[in-house]
Amino acid sequence: MSRDRTLPGLAVATLVLLGVAAAAPGWMVFTLVVSLAQGLVVLGLMVLWRAGLMSFGQSLYYAVGGYTVGLINIQFGLSNALLLVLAAPAVAGLLAFLLGFLLARYRDIFFSMLTLAFAMILYGVLVKSSTLGSTDGFSILTPSFLGPHPGPDATQRLLTGLAALIALLAAALVHRYLKSTAGHLATAIRDNEIRVEYLGYSVHRAIHVKYVLAGILAGAGGAIVAMAIGHIDPEMAYWTTAGEFVFVAILAGAGSVAAPFLGAILFVVLRTYAAQYTPHLWHMVLGGTLLLFIVFLPDGVWSLFERACRPLKRRAPS
Amino acid sequence: MTALLDVRDLHKHFGALAAVAGVSVAVAEREVVGVIGSNGAGKTTFVNMVTGYLPPSRGTITFRGRDITGRPPRQVTGLGIARSFQVPQVFASASVLDNLLVAIGIAEEGRLPIWTPLRRRQRVARALATLESYGIAGYASQPASLLPQGVRKLLDIAMATVRGPELLLLDEPTSGISVGEKFAIMDTIMAALRAQRTTVLFIEHDMEIVDRYAERVIAFADGVIIADGPPQAVIDDPEVRRLVVGERVKVAE
Ligand SMILES: Nc1ncnc2c1ncn2[C@@H]1O[C@H](COP(=O)(O)OP(=O)(O)OP(=O)(O)O)[C@@H](O)[C@H]1O
Ligand SMILES: [Mg+2]
């Protein structure tokens, strides 16, 4: 078995990201924080995907994360970033726990469509709620940190730094989870559910845990993006948002907990450039990219990364 | 002495077909019971009901004096009954070692095995020792999908035994295995089980195997038990000869 270098790799990557958050130009910092938020959601999708399940409705928890931030702002006047970024995943996780009892019974396309259905219901509710600004949504309070308000630019940088640390924590914990017995049950469930039950473990519970994990991560992503943009609207729950997460998941691949973040950054870059250089064709560019990935890189960009590292290892001893 | 497993008046109907039609049997602790019967006699259906995979249409199943009728496989496994499958049920895309590690991981950890790494050192050692006792340690790193049938069968049985079940039901442990290997494989299985003091009920078509390993034989025909007793007496029973053994001999030749 080869040595697992994921954790040191994540630590180094986080240091680089903290450097970017501190010193890079404002637009780059903004791009980074949005990518990190998206990466968190996709990390959750990866956990489900490994068990052969794909959520087409992860926008549900993304929106719940965002609106939790907004509602805490309104109800309690609280804007502390750390508090909000913990509260939002807790609420999202609770909802996932409740819906999980139903969803854990479904597989394949039925699972996917059911997740989509729940996201559509939330979208409908949000659009109809005039107290929550209906289709316009509403503004989020500028996030605060311990100490006095540091000004808009520094706030964004601090938020991005916080997002990088949360991404590190989430990736490290998910990595640990994937190596555990429950993590390995993903393949086991895909291969043979009957055997899992006969070994004495509930397949429903295994899937339920994965679903809650994915919900928590999507809630965290939604909270971060809400604070970074300073605004939330029902679009967060819409199926196109959920579709983007699936897109990034495929782009990224499920090979490592770092893959979703790499995929998210790649996606934002791709979309930005496509929109800039081909203003009317950018959907086509994204579609074409997805097509190329599915055909030529079914294991995502991460597999390129792995391939790039492997020959080095082989060459070394000779 | 109370029975370990006590089955009363068990029935299973599939539409108009009565696959099991009134089976009552008691198995004592440490017994090694062979189950024979022609194809479609209801042997697998019987095992499926005892282990909770199929709910019985009628009847009760008692294990250690506790009614377990209709409990799902997961709970039945937890109570100490394990089974192997006529068609081995393994995790095809995982390695042989990982297959066993998952089985051990589930057995060792509780309801949320989310923190301890699956491949922790003591567990790998235990898994390799188990594979060794079944004579398949050499396949540890191979994906289960590429295994020869006999090895896959042994892996299936090894996975079923990691919890140290009190009762093990083996569904045709030697089917799909060449005649030359059958005895060696049964020796391996039985030695491993004797060491664990497991009560065993095995379904088998090969009368030589039944005669050699069973202390008691139960013959099934058309969903009912037609004979139950010492191996030679059951195999020589005229009814069993007509319905079970004779037919198999013809098939074998
Ligand atoms: N799930 C099912 N649905 C419908 N019929 C079934 C089902 N399972 C078994 N049967 C039928 O019940 C009867 C008994 O089947 P069973 O598998 O128990 O036989 P068996 O004694 O194990 O035979 P074999 O030696 O071929 O394994 C057969 O006629 C079979 O076709
Ligand atoms: Mg059978």
Q: Does B121 touch chain A (CB under 8 A)?
A: no
Nearest-CA residue for ligand 1 atom 22 is B44
Q: Does A100 touch chain B (CB under 8 A)?
A: no
What is the average pLDDT across B218-243? 88
Neighbours of ion ligand 2 (CB under 5 A): B 44, 86
**Alpha-helix residue ranges (DSSP H) falling in chain A:** 6-23, 26-50, 59-76, 81-103, 108-128, 152-179, 181-191, 193-198, 203-229, 239-252, 259-277, 282-296, 300-315
Secondary structure letter of residue A147 according to DSSP = S
B89 vs B181, more confident:
B89
pLDDT at residue A312, rounded to an integer: 53
CA proximity to A122, closest of A112, A108, A132, A111: A132
Query: Rounded to whole angstroms, how far apart are CA atoms A165 and A265?
Result: 16
Nearest-CA residue for ligand 1 atom 27 is B39
**Alpha-helix residue ranges (DSSP H) falling in B26-95:** 43-50, 73-79
Query: Rounded to whole angstroms, how far apart are CA atoms A291 and B32?
Result: 59
Six token digits for residue A75? 């109800």
For A12-26, A287-301, B2-16, B109-123, which range has the lowest pLDDT when averaged over its residues?
Answer: A287-301
Six token digits for residue A67? 């609106």
pLDDT at residue B246, rounded to an integer: 66
Q: What residue in A sits closest to B85 (Cα-Cα)?
A: A195
Q: Is B50 in the pocket of ligand 1 (CB under 6 A)?
A: no
Is B60 within 8 Å of B9 (Cβ atoms)?
yes
- pLDDT tens digits, B19-40: 999 999 999 999 999 999 988 9
pLDDT at residue A278, rounded to an integer: 80
Q: Is A264 helix (H, G, I), strand (E, B) or coil?
A: helix
Q: Distances in Å between the alpha carbon of B123 and those of B98, B102, B108?
A: 11, 10, 9
Is B167 within 8 Å of B80 (Cβ atoms)?
yes
User: How are the residues of chain A apportioned to helix, strand and coil, as percentages rounded to the nearest 5?
Assistant: 80, 0, 20
Is A218 within 8 Å of A62 (Cβ atoms)?
yes
The residue type found at B40 is G
Q: Is B45 in the pocket of ligand 1 (CB under 6 A)?
A: yes
CA of B176 to the centre of ligand 1 (A): 18
pLDDT of residue B249 exceeding 80 = no
Q: Is B42 in the pocket of ligand 1 (CB under 6 A)?
A: yes
Q: List strand residue ranges (DSSP E) for chain A, in order.
A: 138-139, 231-232
Six token digits for residue B50? 């005892």
Task: Give pLDDT < 70 ranges for chain A.
Answer: 1-2, 310-318
User: Ligand 1 pocket test: which of B12, B17, B248 has the largest number of ligand atoms within 8 Å of its C-beta?
Assistant: B17
The residue type found at A206 is A
The residue type found at B49 is M
CA proximity to A235, closest of A89, A157, A120: A120
Which band of pLDDT confidence, cut at 50, 70 and 90, is reported for residue B69? very high
pLDDT at residue A136, rounded to an integer: 85
Nearest-CA residue for ligand 1 atom 18 is B42
* Cβ–Cβ gap A200/B77 under 8 Å: yes
pLDDT at residue A204, rounded to an integer: 95
* Cβ–Cβ gap A181/B159 under 8 Å: no
Contacts with A281 (C-beta within 8 Å, 6 or more apart), sequence order: A274
pLDDT at residue A1, rounded to an integer: 47
Q: Does B87 touch chain A (CB under 8 A)?
A: no
Average pLDDT over chain B reads: 89
Q: What is the model's pTM?
A: 0.91
pLDDT of residue B1 exceeding 60 = no
pLDDT at residue A317, rounded to an integer: 44
pLDDT at residue B109, rounded to an integer: 92
ipTM: 0.91
